[in-house]
């Protein structure tokens, strides 16, 4: 799917790794269970909303909502919500998993989804209630924060490459980055109702940069610099403590051997030789 600028377009299906395959299958299975249960099985909507995110309820102790919300997608009236998530993860996650390995890729997906919603919760709490209600629904859900993170991570990791989006539209890494940001800004301006809320996707973009932009990531590089600074500080403290212990002990370092004056005296001829 991804290629250099000079390569001819390719229309093959990239094969996802086991980790991404399991994520795609799991998300689809969860959507299918709720779609059948709510639309044809007579299940109560309360079963669905019990797993959706809600800022006030999470702060009251229902912390599981923060982890289950990214797994849910609109079960009735449309299939585009789940379809768009699966397609975007498929197109941009395949190469990231191949490049990073399944372990880092899964940590990235889960961390980005939770990070995006945590950012949304913090922003919602900081904003006036009238504005917060427009930007964030009472119950929010969906994997869009993870999708935004994957898109940004792909664009920043594979700079200069092009991908055939939906097998037809060639998109460069820079073009993808502009498209993802501009689309979310347009959603906010038009006040389009999105189940994830308007802030979480931007939190996902931030996560894509922090956790997925390069190897090591900016967050990892910052941690390594901080750790190096701490080690240097510890070494300096140990050196200062060692000097203080030596000073308190009263010990002194004495130079060994004879002094230079005694050596010069030996080199001078005896006074009797001059007579």
Q: In whole angstroms, what is the distance from residue 181 CA to residue 29 CA?
A: 29
pLDDT value of position 229: 80
Q: 228 or 268, which is more confident?
A: 228
43-62 mean pLDDT = 96
- Cis upstream peptide for 23 (omega within 30°): no
Going by the DSSP 8-state scheme, the letter that residue 6 receives in this structure is T
Helix/strand/coil for 166: coil
d(CA 259, CA 275): 28
Which pLDDT does position 171 carry in this prediction? 80
In the predicted structure, residue 259 carries a pLDDT above the cut 60: no
pLDDT of residue 7: 45
Instruction: Output the pLDDT for position 23.
Output: 98
Q: What is the pLDDT of residues 139-182, one digit of tens each?
A: 999 999 999 999 999 999 988 888 776 667 788 888 889 989 99
Mean of the pLDDT values across residues 267-274?
A: 52
Phi, psi angle pair for 193, to nearest 5°: -75, 115
Residue 166: what pLDDT?
Answer: 64
pTM: 0.77
140 secondary structure, DSSP code: B
């Amino acid at each position: 799917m991804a290629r250099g600028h000079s390569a001819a377009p390719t229309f093959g299906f990239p094969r996802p790794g086991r980790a991404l395959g399991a994520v795609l299958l799991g998300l689809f299975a969860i959507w299918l269970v709720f779609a059948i249960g709510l639309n044809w099985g007579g299940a109560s909507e309360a079963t669905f909303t019990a797993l959706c995110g809600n800022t006030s309820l999470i702060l009251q102790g229902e912390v599981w909502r923060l982890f289950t919300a990214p797994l849910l997608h609109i079960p009735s009236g449309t299939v585009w919500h789940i379809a768009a998530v699966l397609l975007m993860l498929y197109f941009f996650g395949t190469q990231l998993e191949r490049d990073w390995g399944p372990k880092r890729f899964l940590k990235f997906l889960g961390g980005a989804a939770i990070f995006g919603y945590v950012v949304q919760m913090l922003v919602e709490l900081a904003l006036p209630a009238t504005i917060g209600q427009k930007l964030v629904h009472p119950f929010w859900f969906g994997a869009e924060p993870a999708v935004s993170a994957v898109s940004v991570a792909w664009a920043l990791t594979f700079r200069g490459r092009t991908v055939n989006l939906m097998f037809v539209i060639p998109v460069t890494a820079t073009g993808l980055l502009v498209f993802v940001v501009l689309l979310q800004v347009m959603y906010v301006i038009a006040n389009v109702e999105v189940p994830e809320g308007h802030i979480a996707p931007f939190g996902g973009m931030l996560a894509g940069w922090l956790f997925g932009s390069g190897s090591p990531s900016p967050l990892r590089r910052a941690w390594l610099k901080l750790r190096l600074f701490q080690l240097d500080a510890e070494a300096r403290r140990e050196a200062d403590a060692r000097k203080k212990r030596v000073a308190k002990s009263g010990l002194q370092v004495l130079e060994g051997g004879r002094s230079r004056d005694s050596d010069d005296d030996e080199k001078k001829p005896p006074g009797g030789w001059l007579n």
